Chain A
Amino acid sequence: VVNLSPSVGFDTRELARRIRVDTVIMTSLGGGSHVGSCLSVADIMAVLYGSTLQVDPSQPKHPERDRFILSKGHAGGIVYASLAEVGFFDRAVLATHYGDGSILSGHVSHWEVPGVEWSTGSLGQGLSLGCGTALASRMRKRNNRTVVVMSDGECDEGQVWEAALFASHHKLDKLLAVVDYNHIQSLASTEETLNLEPFAEKWRAFGWEVRQVDGHDHDALRAAFEPSRGSQPVCVLADTIKGKGVPMMERSVLWHYRSPQLEELETALSALFATAEDRALLVQKDAGYEAISIMRAKQNA
């Protein structure tokens, strides 16, 4: 019998801190965007990969695995960091993010990256992928769950609501949607741009079991990620702070795009209590490319 929960035992708060550090370093080294979006969803990702998802880094394609889909593909950095920290691939690879010849594009890509199910980045498609994935699991009579993490801004997309209708109509009770509700989208707040409220009522009206939680409270998130109590899909509206963990980046539209420059990087790393081990990533670009070569050689063999 395969142990599909090797991540049990992770201190999810420490995991959240680590993946925050990783993404700050990654976006700084590669000149990448969306660090605020990564920090916003870090606690959600840490609880998912540290305690909820039944996945095995040594068997990323195991048929019984839980499926994770990052629909807000622009926060690809936090997925790569989560996967590396729980053992899907060498952490040094993170240092190549955005770089020439890397496997880690800004928007998450499944190409050559163990543990990534789907390439996203065009918003609004992940919940449909989740519907199809959960449907396929049901047709194959498997018990695994499908988890989709979305942004609030992407709920402007019509396809999200096509999928929301489908999931509840077909009672996809093993589908969990988590909305990173940080209230900031590309140019301004969600309230100013296209108001989503009453958001919870919308999901309820579409037939979902809705849970509203503090998206940085790990115990609350863990409880919210429990399976459906009835036969409906579950939507977790996780109230979050964009840029959470680095004060200068919090609640700021600027950090949707900006990558940390030298002094900013140091400020951010201090705010996140980065250790010497954490900081090692700063000088691991060559090791990262070496690790990619090894991964490719293994895949070819």
Chain B
Amino acid sequence: MNSLQNYLLLSSLLFSIGLAGVLIRRNAILVLI
């Protein structure tokens, strides 16, 4: 059984990847995506 912690850690990792994409990408459409 997966704990809630695993799902929260995965979601925070996805949030961080998205944040990095917003901060470092140059293409405006991909930033919005």
Do chains A and B stick together as partners? no
B binding-site residues for A, Cβ under 8 Å = none
